[in-house]
Amino acid sequence: MAASDEIGSLTRAFSGLGVDEKALISILGNWHPEQRQTFRKGTHDFFIEDERQFERWNDHHILQLRHEFLRLKDAIVLWTMHPWERDARLLKESLYRGPQYNVLIEIACTRSSEELLGARRAYHSLFDRSIEEDVAFHVHSPERKLLVALLSCYRYEGPKVNDEMAKLEAKTIFDAMRGGAIHKGLIEDEALVRILSTRSKPHIKAIYKHYKEISGNYLDEDFHSDLRLKETIQCLCTPEAYFSEALHASLRYNVDEITKEAVTRVIVTRADVDMKEIKEEYHRKYGVNLPKKIEDVANGNYRDFLLTLIARGD
């Protein structure tokens, strides 16, 4: 199908003029990010050019698609969104529906510095305030300091690591753990929050390695009693482990609706990033192929769309 024909099919579908869902899945599931951007820029009825230089969905059409596609809609709308808008809306929903600390940590720690900055800019445009402001207002638990710091950061992304500093900081964390600080609120420890929210990911991975040498355990193992610290370390150091666990939890039978939504969120946001690694980790950890699990749990065109996105990593 020619590009103009594909755009015409999508335009008709998004206008509510009849939906060939299988064609929709085939087109969107195989489009590259540049093609999705071209579609956003060329369909002004659905997308608005934001002053902060991204194309965002017209809210009226999001509501229309929710009625038209039900569960498939969430995957399709998230997939076609500009990544900045997608993350901004996920952040907003996670705050007003819980808050869901894991989603805040996930976005803060698995995006690049530029991607996270873009999500913060989109949040400004969409909601007329900052994500940091909303977190500080809505979160009243000890996690607030860590969450604000993680979402505010702009990490160095080069390859250089000060290995001696990484050793010292691994020892600092080990001493805090050994001193029982975790029982007094390690998640509020200023040194730990500073390390996790300012150091580059390669640097934190070096801390992860040195901590294992000092303690005999990995950091996320020793953070088992503090889920938010465990999630932070996993998202920064071993994101494939974090995402495979999130998928496993959401693909169980009889889980609540919010937990179930992680299937869409994870597959849509990681399809073009590290889905191959996530699939390998899922199989290693749970002994079943992720596509097979999706086939067993999901249904219809929603299932087919998820499988199409998963296959992009092959």
| Spatial contact of 265 and 103, defined as CB atoms under 8 Å apart | yes
pLDDT tens for each residue of 34-77:
989 888 988 887 899 998 889 998 887 776 666 555 667 789 88
3-class state of residue 272 by DSSP: coil
Do 304 and 271 belong together in one domain? yes
CA distances from 133 to 88, 100, 147, 228 (A): 13, 16, 11, 20
Same domain, 243 and 195: no
Of 229, 225, 223, 227, nearest to 195 by C-alpha is 229
Domain that holds residue 262: 239-314
pLDDT tens figures, 65-117: 665 556 677 898 899 999 999 999 999 999 998 899 999 999 999 999 999 99
313 and 249 share one domain: yes
* One domain, residues 244 and 306: yes
| Residue 128 CB neighbours (<10 A) | 7
Contacts of 272 by beta carbon, 8 Å cutoff, 6+ apart: 33, 312
Mind listing the pLDDT tens digit for each residue in 257-276? 889 999 999 999 999 999 99
| 226 and 246 housed in the same domain | no
Strands 47-49 and 55-57: antiparallel
Per-residue pLDDT tens digits for 137-154: 999 999 999 999 999 999
* Residue 182 pLDDT grade (very low, low, confident, very high; cuts 50, 70, 90): very low
Task: Find the CATH number of the domain harbouring 184.
Answer: 1.10.220.10
- pTM for the complete prediction? 0.89
Q: What percent of the chain has pLDDT over 70?
A: 92
In a domain, 29, yes or no: no
Q: What number is the average pLDDT over the span 149-170?
A: 97
Residues 228 and 247 in one domain: no
For residues 231 and 255, membership in a common domain is answered with: no
pLDDT score recorded for residue 180: 57
